């Protein structure tokens, strides 16, 4: 009976797959919220009391805004575990005050141990950047991905298969954004101060649910191009 109820509630909440979206009302979310609170309290009556005392997440996640790539669900983690920043195509742009503020707070105040840039194959932002179509304001944001393409055009244009080329650009975009993280004064200062902090680049597969570690991890500015290195303050 309990399993049946759980199965039913999962099916009801799956609003965008196999259901008519016109049947969905936003107030359903509020109803499901109450249901989730009741289920959570049934398992642990102190759950919210404990979580409300503060956060101490060991991870900062920089991911895509795509609705299919939620940080907690795909890593099997819970509220309180991951500090999250998401934008279109998981970008680290050095003039983005939002990203920089999240990064600085996560590193300097929360003292996270890992920063993960997680892209995903089939990313609409990357696909749009590979096209010549105009999408509006977002074209200015996607320009950064076109720059990644230009930097790696020799490698990319040798890939005959279009799907494989798109997948590789998704990976290269993550790698470039990992480098962009390493270039920030926030990370460089943290490393200079002996803060044990690693940066990683991952790509999630929408088709399998598996995360591919691109093995581009850094825990110092050792390999950073000299022009990007700052002196100690
Ligand atoms: Zn995406």
pLDDT at residue 103, as a whole number: 98
Catalytic residue among 85, 118, 123, 200: 123
**What's the gap in Å between 184 CA and the centre of ligand 1?**
23
Nearest CA to 168 out of 213, 126, 128 is that of 126
**What's the gap in Å between 164 CA and the centre of ligand 1?**
16
* pLDDT tens-digit readout, 103-135: 999 999 999 999 999 999 999 999 999 999 999
pLDDT at residue 233, as a whole number: 78
Catalytic residue among 7, 28, 44, 66: 66
pTM, rounded to two decimals:
0.91
Given a contact cutoff of 8 angstroms between Cβ atoms, the answer to whether 110 and 55 are in contact is yes
CA distance 81 to 185: 25
- Residue the block writes with tokens 């790696």: 152
CA distance 230 to 233: 8
Nearest CA to 225 out of 179, 181, 194 is that of 179
Domain boundaries in the chain?
A: 1-54, 56-228
- Active site includes 64? yes
**What's the gap in Å between 138 CA and the centre of ligand 1?**
13
pLDDT at residue 22, as a whole number: 66
Which CATH superfamily hosts domain 56-228?
Carbonic anhydrase (3.40.1050.10)
Residue 156's CB: how many other CB atoms inside 10 A? 18
pLDDT at residue 187, as a whole number: 97
**What's the gap in Å between 88 CA and the centre of ligand 1?**
6
**What's the gap in Å between 125 CA and the centre of ligand 1?**
5
Report how far apart, in Å, the C-alpha atoms of 200 and of each of 112, 140, 174, 179, 197 are: 13, 26, 9, 10, 10
**What's the gap in Å between 35 CA and the centre of ligand 1?**
30
**What's the gap in Å between 124 CA and the centre of ligand 1?**
5
pLDDT at residue 24, as a whole number: 74
Q: pLDDT under 70 in the chain at which residues? A: 1-22
- Active site includes 123? yes
Catalytic residue among 85, 118, 120, 200: 120
């Amino acid at each position: 009976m309990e399993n049946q109820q759980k199965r039913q509630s999962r099916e009801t909440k799956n609003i965008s797959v196999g259901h008519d979206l016109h049947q969905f009302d936003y107030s359903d979310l509020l109803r499901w919220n109450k249901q989730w609170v009741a289920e959570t309290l049934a398992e642990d009556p102190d759950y919210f009391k404990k979580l409300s005392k503060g956060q101490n997440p060991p991870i900062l996640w920089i991911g895509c805004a795509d609705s299919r790539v939620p940080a907690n669900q795909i890593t099997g983690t819970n509220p309180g575990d991951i500090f999250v920043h998401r934008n279109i195509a998981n970008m680290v742009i050095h003039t983005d005050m939002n990203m920089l503020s999240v990064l600085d707070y996560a590193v300097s105040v929360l003292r996270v141990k890992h920063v993960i840039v997680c892209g995903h194959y089939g990313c609409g932002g990357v696909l749009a950047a590979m096209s010549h179509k105009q999408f509006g304001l977002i074209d200015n944001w996607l320009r950064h991905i076109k720059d990644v393409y230009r930097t790696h055009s020799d490698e990319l244009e040798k890939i005959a298969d279009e799907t494989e080329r798109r997948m590789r650009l998704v990976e290269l975009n993550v790698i470039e954004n990992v480098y962009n993280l390493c270039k920030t004064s926030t990370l460089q200062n943290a490393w200079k101060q002996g803060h044990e902090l690693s940066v990683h680049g991952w790509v999630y597969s929408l088709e399998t649910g598996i995360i591919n570690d691109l093995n581009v991890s850094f825990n110092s500015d050792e390999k950073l191009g000299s022009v990007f290195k700052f002196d100690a303050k």
